[in-house]
Structure 1
Amino acid sequence: MTSPIPGNLWIRRYHPAPEATERLVCFPHAGGSASFYLPVSTALSPAVDVLGVQYPGRQDRRNEPGVTSVADLADSITRALAGWDDRPLTFFGHSMGAVVAFEVARRMEAAGGGPVRLFASGRRAPSRTRDENVHLRDDDGLVAELRALSGTDVQFLADEELLRMILPAIRSDYTAVETYRCDQGATVSCPVTVLTGNADPKTSLDEARAWADHTTGGSELKVFPGGHFFLADRQADVLAVLGEHFRMPART
């Protein structure tokens, strides 16, 4: 484990790479934490300085209340990233993290900055909505959703005490993402690379392609075998996509 950067509880830096010329900022899914991206940091360091965003209500921030609004999350993360833009930034967000990254990018661009590219993984386009109410279910219903998506460590789901500790943060995240609404005309100027699983129950291919409506910088779609957490099973393939973006040589 790494300690939080002093004074900034929002950012985790597992493998500081002071000589890297580019930074990757990773935004977790609902219920996820910065440590979900530890394998990405391990793989890309020291060529890329990888930062993981840590939302309140989990791990070392478990005593803080969760944030129930994507807009509020984006506001706080934008402030937390101040000073980290001395090198070109790339954003990678999975599921809820994709729309949080999109909103942070919008805020940074409005201030004259922003990422050079946004990787939107496992999430439909910001203006595509569904009638979802997982955040209104009881605890058993929330756990059932986690099991169905296979994105939560089975050890957490089997440990009743630990599970009850993390459920409030998960419920806050689901509240934020399920109540999130975005205008059709909201865009970023950076290019967007969309990653999706071909069997993701949360995102159809049409919903994934619609990210093209939310960028003036062009978009591309990459489809992988798998469901909502395809990136866990196709980790090498996803890392290869990131490596190509950062112009890193292919690993043998």
Structure 2
Amino acid sequence: MSTPDEHGDLWIRRFHPAPEAHHRLVLLPHAGGSASFFFNFSKELAGHAEVLAVQYPGRQDRRAEPPLDDVAALVEEIHRALLPWTDKPLVLFGHSMGAVLSFELARRFEREGAPPAGLIASGRRSPTVRREENVHTRGDDALIAEIRALSGTDAGLLADEELLRMVLPAIRSDYKAVETYRYLPDGPGPALKCPVSVLTGESDPRVSVPEAMEWRELTSGEFSLRTFPGGHFYLTPQQAGVTRAVIEDLAAFTAVPAGR
């Protein structure tokens, strides 16, 4: 494996190194999220894959960097950061905005002849389902109300008004990226060949089960859909069940050759 460069060090967090693992699981957080959101998942999954969590600019230890407000730009930078880690098969897991980024990363890798072992899309409708959203154009108070409603932001951060407003530029940029994203097919047929697993909350106000099922049309590979009790951030209270589901997917992706 080539040594991760300074660029990769900015983007990739390896909380629980597992160099003996046969696969690498790449975790991409939601809009406004950070790599640390997945710390506990990384700990639980370390025995099943080497976990790499993505850190977007404009937050935590990258707070001084300008955030990116375009999906294509984010995919370009994350793809570059992941290249040194591709000596082992990658499984991509993204939640909400992270699901969109994971999907476009999977497309990028497949175009280059290096398909991921699988894609796990969490808490996001299929990219083919269009919905006009404009949260990123609203004022700060409306943006704060939105993230409070989804209950995915750390309670301590929400309680600290000054700190919250410091991170609003990054949150707004993330919302702009995902709300202005449009899926553009490469041509006829499914966009992917790798297996796709979709996880979603039963009462997610942003994703209906039929909208989640539409992911099926985007791959010629194996497909599965699992629902969990809860809303948009179901994966926090349902961490044990989600961890089991991811472990099952890792095993299934190992058994199904990428691109079948």
Both proteins in one fold, TM over 0.5: yes
Ranges in structure 1 where 5+ consecutive residues have no aligned partner: none
Query: What is the TM-score with the length of structure 1 in the denominator?
Result: 0.93
Alpha-carbon distance change, 247 to 189 in structure 1, aligned in 2, over 3 angstroms: closer
Alpha-carbon distance change, 28 to 15 in structure 1, aligned in 2, over 3 angstroms: same
Spell out, residue by residue over 1:167-215, the C-alpha distance to the aligned partner (whole angstroms, 9 max, x if none). 0000000000000000355611111101011100100111100001111
Q: Distance in 1 between matches of 2:7 and 2:194?
A: 30
Shift of 1:165: 1.3
Q: Distance in 2 between matches of 1:213 and 1:165?
A: 40
Q: Distance in 1 between matches of 2:42 and 2:107?
A: 25
Answer whether contact 1:23 1:89 (CA < 8 A) is retained: yes
Report what 1:50 is aligned to.
Answer: 51
Shift of 1:158: 1.1
Matched, 1:237 2:241: yes
Shift of 1:5: 7.3
Q: Distance in 2 between matches of 1:51 and 1:42?
A: 11
Q: Distance in 2 between matches of 1:120 and 1:90?
A: 11
The 5-angstrom pairing of residues 205-220 of structure 1 reads 205-220=209-224
Report what 2:181 is aligned to.
Answer: 180
Q: Distance in 2 between matches of 1:178 and 1:112?
A: 29
Report what 2:206 is aligned to.
Answer: 202
Query: What is the TM-score with the length of structure 2 in the denominator?
Result: 0.91
C-alpha RMSD of the superposition: 1.6
Report what 1:156 is aligned to.
Answer: 157
Question: What is the one-letter code of the residue matched to 1:214?
Answer: L
Q: Distance in 2 between matches of 1:98 and 1:30?
A: 10
* Bigger mean CA offset, 25-34 vs 182-191: 182-191
Matched residues, percent identical? 58
Report what 1:93 is aligned to.
Answer: 94
The alignment partner of 1:201 has SS state of: coil
The 5-angstrom pairing of residues 4-23 of structure 1 reads 6-8=6-8, 9-23=10-24
Answer whether contact 1:126 1:181 (CA < 8 A) is retained: yes
Shift of 1:94: 0.3
Q: Distance in 2 between matches of 1:190 and 1:142?
A: 36
Question: What is the one-letter code of the residue matched to 2:111?
Answer: A
The alignment partner of 2:235 has SS state of: helix
The alignment partner of 1:233 has SS state of: coil
Q: Distance in 1 between matches of 2:47 and 2:163?
A: 34
Q: Distance in 2 between matches of 1:74 and 1:67?
A: 10
Question: What is the one-letter code of the residue matched to 2:216?
Answer: A
Matched, 1:74 2:75: yes
Answer whether contact 2:31 2:97 (CA < 8 A) is retained: yes
The alignment partner of 2:83 has SS state of: coil
Report what 2:145 is aligned to.
Answer: 144
The alignment partner of 1:64 has SS state of: coil
Ranges in structure 2 where 5+ consecutive residues have no aligned partner: 253-260
Shift of 1:114: 2.4
Question: What is the one-letter code of the residue matched to 2:203?
Answer: A
Q: Distance in 2 between matches of 1:192 and 1:198?
A: 19
Question: What is the one-letter code of the residue matched to 1:209?
Answer: M
Spell out, residue by residue over 1:128-181, the C-alpha distance to the aligned partner (whole angstroms, 9 max, x if none). 121111001100000000110000011111112211111000000000000000
Answer whether contact 1:29 1:97 (CA < 8 A) is retained: yes
Shift of 1:47: 3.4
Runs of 4+ in 1 over 4 A off after TM superposition: 4-7
The alignment partner of 1:99 has SS state of: helix
Shift of 1:245: 2.6
Alpha-carbon distance change, 43 to 242 in structure 1, aligned in 2, over 3 angstroms: same
Report what 1:126 is aligned to.
Answer: 127
Shift of 1:6: 4.4
Answer whether contact 2:7 2:81 (CA < 8 A) is retained: no
Report what 1:113 is aligned to.
Answer: 114
